[in-house]
């Protein structure tokens, strides 16, 4: 696969803006994709958010393996983060978020109280790479559509303050993806999960990478859904999916692109089951 680079100019600007905004902030809320928490975590944020309280939201937890999500939760907590697993589209997550925000900002609230500052809202910055569900989270948390959502990467362009309650204000920021994927496997996993525009990628190669992961870590998934032989090569597995799902070109040739897209769509919508693509470092 060609080297994946995706760092439009507005992201460089967003990063500079973030360095300014961080001074106004008590808490950084970072959304990551529960299916690939490390690959979807922006390494820049740790440098930018030094000294601030940190909350990691393992979003899309409804699509990830519950057992591995619990492992990731423990791993992030061991690194000093507050952690919450979340499906940002589901109603009812707001209470849990409010409780953990109060916990994360306890010291700040106490400090304010000692100084006689009462009821100053906690100011939180919401960050995350494109398409991780940031806008959906803000909208469902606020209970109204205040941030534009789209399931295409890069919908949020400018920053906006959103007052959620008397005690919490949120600063929404554009999704930032780091400039270079030091490790190409990170780019591949992000692409499989849909965080990079499909048009930029070789869809067949992506599907082949996904079949490799599924055969290795989730044996029986592909054979169960498509009736394919999992000991075959990725190309033969794709051929089997094309046959099974009648993805055909003129002249009855298999349509590999269509079969690849179908496989990726089935993974992204959890029709293959709840699947995590990476596991906590030992």
Please give the pLDDT value at position 67. 96
CA dist 93 and 90 (Å) reads 7
Q: Is the pLDDT of residue 172 over 90?
A: no
User: Where does the pLDDT of residue 83 fall: very low under 50, low under 70, confident under 90, or very high at 90 and above?
Assistant: very high
- State residue 277 phi and psi, 5-degree precision: -95, -15
User: Where does the pLDDT of residue 159 fall: very low under 50, low under 70, confident under 90, or very high at 90 and above?
Assistant: low
User: Where does the pLDDT of residue 11 fall: very low under 50, low under 70, confident under 90, or very high at 90 and above?
Assistant: low
Please give the pLDDT value at position 214. 97
Query: 192-209 pLDDT, tens per residue?
Result: 998 887 777 899 999 999
User: Where does the pLDDT of residue 119 fall: very low under 50, low under 70, confident under 90, or very high at 90 and above?
Assistant: confident
**78 DSSP 8-state letter:** H
Assess contact for 169 and 122: CB atoms under 8 A: yes
**Cα within 13 Å of Cα(144), Cβ side:** 5
Greatest CA separation for the chain: 79
Average pLDDT over residues 66-77: 97
Report the number of secondary-structure helices (H) and strands (E) in the chain: 11, 6
Please give the pLDDT value at position 282. 80
User: Where does the pLDDT of residue 35 fall: very low under 50, low under 70, confident under 90, or very high at 90 and above?
Assistant: very high
Closest to 53 measured CA to CA, from 116, 114, 122: 122
CA dist 146 and 48 (Å) reads 26
User: Where does the pLDDT of residue 218 fall: very low under 50, low under 70, confident under 90, or very high at 90 and above?
Assistant: very high
User: Where does the pLDDT of residue 255 fall: very low under 50, low under 70, confident under 90, or very high at 90 and above?
Assistant: very high
User: Where does the pLDDT of residue 4 fall: very low under 50, low under 70, confident under 90, or very high at 90 and above?
Assistant: low
Q: How many residues does the chain have?
A: 282
Q: Which residue has the higher pLDDT, 179 or 185?
A: 185
Render the burial of 212-224: b for 16+ CB within 10 Å, e for the rest: ebbbeebeebbee
Coil/strand/helix, residue 267 = helix
Most confident of the following: 18-27, 93-102, 262-271: 262-271
Conformation bin of residue 91: beta by default, left when phi > 0, alpha when psi is -120 to 50: beta
Q: Is the pLDDT of residue 157 over 60?
A: no
H/E stretch holding 129: none
Please give the pLDDT value at position 155. 46
Quote the mean pLDDT of the chain: 86
Beta bridge partners of 192: none
Average pLDDT over residues 113-141: 87
User: Where does the pLDDT of residue 210 fall: very low under 50, low under 70, confident under 90, or very high at 90 and above?
Assistant: very high
Please give the pLDDT value at position 174. 64
Please give the pLDDT value at position 256. 97
pTM: 0.87
Q: Is the pLDDT of residue 150 over 60?
A: no
């Amino acid at each position: 696969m060609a080297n994946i680079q995706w760092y439009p100019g507005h992201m460089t600007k967003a990063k500079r803006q973030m360095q300014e905004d961080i001074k106004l902030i008590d808490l950084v809320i970072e959304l990551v994709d529960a299916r690939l928490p490390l690959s979807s975590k922006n390494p820049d944020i740790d440098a930018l958010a030094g000294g601030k309280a940190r909350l990691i939201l393992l979003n899309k937890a409804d699509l990830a393996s519950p057992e591995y999500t619990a492992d990731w939760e423990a791993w992030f907590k061991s690194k000093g983060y507050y952690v919450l697993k979340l499906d940002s589209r589901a109603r009812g997550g707001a209470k849990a978020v409010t409780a953990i925000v109060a916990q994360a900002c306890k010291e700040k609230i106490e400090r304010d109280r000692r100084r006689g500052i009462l009821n100053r809202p906690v100011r939180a910055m919401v960050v995350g790479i494109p398409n991780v569900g940031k806008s959906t989270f803000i909208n469902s948390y606020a209970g109204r559509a205040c941030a534009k959502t789209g399931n295409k990467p890069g919908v949020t362009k400018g920053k906006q303050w959103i007052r959620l309650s008397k005690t919490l204000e949120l600063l929404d920021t554009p999704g930032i993806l780091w400039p270079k994927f030091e490790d190409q496997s990170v780019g591949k996993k992000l692409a499989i999960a849909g965080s990079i525009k499909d048009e930029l990628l070789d869809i067949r190669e992506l599907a082949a990478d996904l079949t490799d992961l599924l055969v290795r870590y989730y044996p029986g998934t592909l054979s169960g859904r498509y009736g394919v032989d999992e000991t075959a090569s990725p190309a033969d597995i794709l051929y089997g999916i094309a046959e099974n799902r009648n993805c055909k070109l003129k002249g009855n040739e298999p349509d590999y692109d269509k079969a690849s897209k179908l496989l990726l769509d089935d993974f992204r919508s959890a029709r293959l089951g709840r699947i995590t693509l990476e596991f906590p470092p030992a």
